[in-house]
Structure 1
Amino acid sequence: MYIGHYAAAAVLVGAIPGAPIPAAAVGVAWPDLAWPILVMAGREQVTVDRDDPLQRAVRFDSYPVSHSLVLSNLLALVPAAIFAIVYQSWIAGLVFWLGAVSHWILDLVVHRADLPLLGPGGHDRKLGAGLWDLPKTAFVLEYLFFAARVLLIASPGMYAGLLGGGLLLHLFNANSAFGFTRRNPLGTPARFASLTLVGYVAAIAWFATAWQ
């Protein structure tokens, strides 16, 4: 899931008075900001099928630090505390942490059974509903989920920037849903991880700008 995480950011800034927009924008992205760095450092592993562009062909072999329910959200308390200090408000820290927690919950819908519960350990239970096995359906539903939250929470003056910008970012993932190319243009873990990092940095900047 990508743009769908910003449905959670919209809920947070819309529902919590005084919620700093950057705290929500970075918080919902936090696991996928940490993950590329850990992959490139060799601490977490992903397998990318060069001959299949679809997202369902990507195998997340190991990401117990960035994407476990317990450990990753405990570690997220550290950047949450930093946000609280920077903004001199516990609300900023709470918003960041809730955003990070929401990331795992939403990923649970689309991932296969590869999301760990606890963290490092060979016997950890892994979960995932596997919506990515229906790539076109997943692509459409993710944007509809995002758009519905925006229309319910944002003011009408924000609609163009949020819905249009969100759609543009979402279309960057169209090949992984519809398979326009025969091969995966991001055929290595390093390329896949790098694009993930760039994509979330762009999404953070967009959301922080559009939610004004």
Structure 2
Amino acid sequence: MKKAIVTGHTRGLGAAIAAELQARGVAVLGLARGRSPLAGIDQAEVDMADPAALQAWLAGATLREFLADASQALLVNNAGVVTPVGPLAAQDPAEVLRAVSLNVGAPLALAAAFVQAAPKAERRILHVSSGAARNAYPGWAVYCATKAALDQHARAVLLDGGMRAGGARVLACSLAPGVIDTDMQAAIRATPDADFPLRERFVALKEGGALDSPAVCAKKLADYLLAPGFGSEPVDDLRN
């Protein structure tokens, strides 16, 4: 049986991924601060930007019990934030800490707990990365750095010999999905030019119809995640 953990499943790309995997017969456990109206999935309410709250949830039995009968276990680390946006002088340190906890701490902790919770299953970890992990953008120092951390994590998992960790395969990829028409993109377009000088580029993408819908992107991402060659490239771009 295929089972998937999807973070940030209540809206945007995460909601579309959860729905797409469920439509393909994959049992889904969604993790987010709130709940999704999607019927037929398991859900856990946890603030993944709060390390203590996430640690308490991981110490429980939910993850292990959900994955107990999985032959193939999937983890999609989708939850993340682009804020704070702006130069260092404009960044709220508390907001920086929250972004690092959600964008880096949570997916790395989940990856370790996930692998340990399903030792007999083939395990696939997909970090939703970004082109910002591979190209520095003014105003996005925190977002670029946190997404780059996911790329390096996937590379290191491969170097660790994760292909046979724990007696079953562990595969990982940090995948940039392209530019998607989500609330995050709307927030980017609403950012003052002084904080994000490249704002007009993203406005032009929206006006030019160059943004994928979450549903279209989720279909491509699910195809990638479930393909036989998943994990052969630890860092990849869905547009390739």
**Which TM class, normalised by the smaller chain length?**
0.3 to 0.5
Higher strand share: 2
Bigger relative contact order (CA 8 A; separation at least 6)? 1
TM-score normalized with structure 2 length: 0.32
TM-score normalized with structure 1 length: 0.35
Higher helix share: 1
